[in-house]
Amino acid sequence: MVDDSAVIRKLIPTLLGQDEEIEVVATAIDGDFAINKIQQMQPDVITLDVDMPRMDGITALGVIVSKHKIPVLMLSSLTTRDAALTMKALEMGAVDFICKPRGGTGKLNEMGSELVTKIKAAARSTVIQPVSLPELPVKAKKKAPPLPTTIGSGKLIAIGASSGGPNALRYILPRIPASIGAGIVVVQHMPESFTAVMARWLDEICDIEVSEARSGDLIIPGRALVAPGNAHLRVQRTALGPAVQLERSTPVNGHMPSVDVLFRSVASEYGRHATAVILTGMGTDGAEGIGEIRKAGGHTMAQNKETCAIFGMPRAAIERGYIQQVGSLSDIANWLVVAAGKQESSEVKDGKCN
The catalytic site residues sit at 162, 189, 285
- Listed in order, strand segments (DSSP E) in the chain are 46-49, 72-76, 96-99, 156-161, 183-188, 209-212, 223-226, 232-238, 241-247, 274-278, 299-303, 325-327, 348-349, 352-353
Q: Exposed (0-12), middle (13-18) or buried (19+): which is 33, by Cβ within 10 Å?
A: middle
Neighbours of 315 (CB within 10 A): 18
Please, what is the angle between helix 329-339 and helix 165-172, to 10°? 50
What is the rounded distance in angstroms from the CA atom of residue 38 to the CA atom of residue 120? 19
Closest to 122 (Cα-Cα) out of 60, 197, 46, 177: 46
What is the rounded distance in angstroms from the CA atom of residue 308 to the CA atom of residue 268? 29
DSSP string, 302-339: EE-GGG-S--HHHHHHHHTT--SEEE-HHHHHHHHHHH
